[in-house]
Structure 1
Amino acid sequence: MSADFSRSTQAYRLLEEEIVTLKLKPGATVTEAALTQRLGFGRTPIREAIQRLSWEGLLNIRPRLGIVVAEMNPSDFLKVLEARHALERLVAGLAARLASKDDRRTLEAIALDMREAAAKPDVADYLRLDKAFDEVVSAAACNPFAAKALAPLQTQSRRFWYRHFGEEDLTPAAWSHMEVMRAVAAGDEAAAMDHAENLMLYLRRQATTLVSGSGQAAAGK
């Protein structure tokens, strides 16, 4: 891995976390220069991170107007999960079948760390571990097309989760993720797919509750 690529990846992860955890608020306008100063990276890594996050739908690049952090609509959470559902099953099953020994050991370690983050509770740490989990499983699945389609959906999901749920449901969310990780680590393809299905159903129930609550609040105005 080149130094430039490594810096670009680091810049992307830091900027993504700033957006997911709402340190950069929806609708906020930022500039490349401000982000360079904020994150402590050179222009090239920041520019590449901005382009990637624009493709993922978290930043909107508007010529002469700046870079705008994407707004959030609760109803979009359900749409994100609808698109994500089948891909998660596919990737979990492939990862259980194809993961290396190092991948499996890494997932076991992430599962333990995630349990600790949920117990504290530490939402930011939990979401970092969720990102690590997603990246390990997607790489282990050896299907770059599925991984490329899935990554922005996972990031959008984390952002909605941080804003609307946070500590509230951290333990059941962590447990659902841990079941997927353990099945992948054990090489149990059927169980990995089943647990990925259960995770998606759990998240979709949460999203449905969110949308229903938003609709009721709007009707009551």
Structure 2
Amino acid sequence: MNAIIDSLPADATHRDAERAFREAGWTPCGEGDWAIALRSPDGTAAVRISPFDPVGPYTAALYREAAHTRQVPQLFAHRRLAGGGDLQMLEWLNEVDEQDAVRFHTAIAERETHVAELVDIVRRIHADAVRELPWCGPLDQNPSNIMRGSDGRLVACDLYYADGPDLYATAGSDPAGFAARMPEPERRYMTEIPLACSGPWDAASREAMRKGLAEADAAAARRE
């Protein structure tokens, strides 16, 4: 499976990644407000591909560093994509009953004994994200972020997120300020995220945001 990722050029974007996986027989299995998901032909793995995801490296770090707890998804591969995109290849996950999800979130929030080691890792990496990233949100307690791994165990996924409403509002109202805080290579495709839950986002608004940020970038380059 990693051969697909290895075949991508160094400057591969989210479009290149999606095309490569589709050509290899991976099929659409989900879409959210930040990413799409494709399932492997044998059904054992999924790849999450986002055009723009500042917290992706922190989520991948959580999956790696907490792997021994068996309370996070198994991460097969992670790669940053050109323009601020993010790719994560994970074991196939299944939905859980909402009550089970809420109980697991409660255990995390209260640092119950059976999740204490996981919680310590979650909080440490989240503190790094809050310190290093603009617009990093609090821990996400959406029940949909608790799922079952292939062996039936409960796992926590996507606990970190960017505060989209504030991030995008700032980009629209103060493009110069936004551009100064987030370099262009890290948000080139920020207007291309899918909005399966919060959409639609009309083309005119997207274009206005792109234009405002491009003008801010050009003005900053002239000052250098």
- Asked if TM exceeds 0.5, the reply is no
- Report the TM-score when normalising by structure 2: 0.27
Higher relative contact order (CA 8 A, sep 6+): 1
- Which has more strand, going by share of residues? 2
TM-score (norm 1): 0.28
